[in-house]
Structure 1
Amino acid sequence: MIQPPRFANSLLETKLAAIPLHEDPEVFNAALSDEVMQETTYKSLHIENSMFTNCAFTESEFLQADWQDVRFENCDFSNVTLTKCTLTRVEFLNCRMTGVEFGESHLHDVRFGTCVMDYALFGSGKLRTSRFESCKLDFAHFYSTLLETVAFADCSLEEVTFEQTSLAGIDLSSNHFTQLKVGLEEIKGSHVSPMQALQFATLFGLVIKE
């Protein structure tokens, strides 16, 4: 079962200007709202036991970030790049994440709830015990990504690509799509609805006769 963020202490409402991110890139026990962190590169930013509400991170880049026990709500991660990052017990709720890129990142106990994630890219990383719930993932791309105990529930997956990414054990039956870009090896062992099974049969050139 996915573990939610563990907020151990009361959070201090603060402002980004009060945190010297470029001198000591750490955010602890903080509650931030209506902040803007756009078009900026952050290296080794550590965030722990914190909440962000209505914040904008668009066009920013995070390198080797370590985020633990964090919640982002109504935040904008459009075209954000997260490279070689580690996220543990992190929630993204009602966030805009169009074009977000998780490159070589490890996500564990991460929940995406009602997020817009069109064209998202997950490449050469790992997702463990994580969940996509009521998200719009159209045209997203999973490349060489390990999916371990990952759930997709009531998501739009139109033309999502799963390349060198096994869907064995993944339940797709509650999700919505007319086409996935996936090979036979990748789809093997997944759980699909009867209608989806017909779609995949057509995709792989099978002729179904009554």
Structure 2
Amino acid sequence: MATKSKSDRTTPVVPDWLHEGAVVFDVRLRQWGTVMAVSCPRTELRQADRAWLRPQGGGREWNPPFDDLSIVADPEPFLVSAGSRNRMAQLFPNDDRSVSQARRFVAVALDRWHITQRRDDVLLCVSELATNALTHAGMREGDHFLVTVDHADGRLRVEVYDPSQCHPRAAQHCKLDEHGRGLFLVDHYSDKWGAEPRGRCGKAVWIEFETQQSPS
């Protein structure tokens, strides 16, 4: 039986979306993570198809193979529970319909966690952040933005990840500036908001609300 030489072995191809700073989903572990590094062929080819990930909510890093990773989780929202923390996440395509879909997705999270307080404020701000991601983040055909929702210790946090490196600012005079007006509403209705860099992956714009769960 013929054996393959080292030169005959195929070096794994790294997908375009798998790079340092990208947010990806481990299908096997059902967990989101941020890519810290993508392994390159060195002395052991078995390590050439793996990436190092850091959990989004904190915790131990892990080293899954490329085949276990995706930028899409499930067609439906999924729930991740870790101690007292609850988290949902979903990707949305570069499509005008994604604004209403992102709003419905967050509404599902609020329903699951029995959160009725500040519901209208939360959904309004989510609509504004999703709109900003679609219209001001330079998204191209085939791009997605990611929405995550966390609830812990009476605080709700929503993050919208987009590919732009530019940090948004709320305009003081916003009658003619749709972008500034949207962020003015976010600033007015949320308790806190801000933006954080995510390496080459772009940025995450986040909003926070003090909330209470209603009796189930």
Scaled to the shorter chain, the TM-score interval is under 0.3
Q: TM-score, normalised by structure 2?
A: 0.25
**Structure with the largest fraction of helix:** 2
Q: TM-score, normalised by structure 1?
A: 0.25
Higher relative contact order (CA 8 A, sep 6+): 2
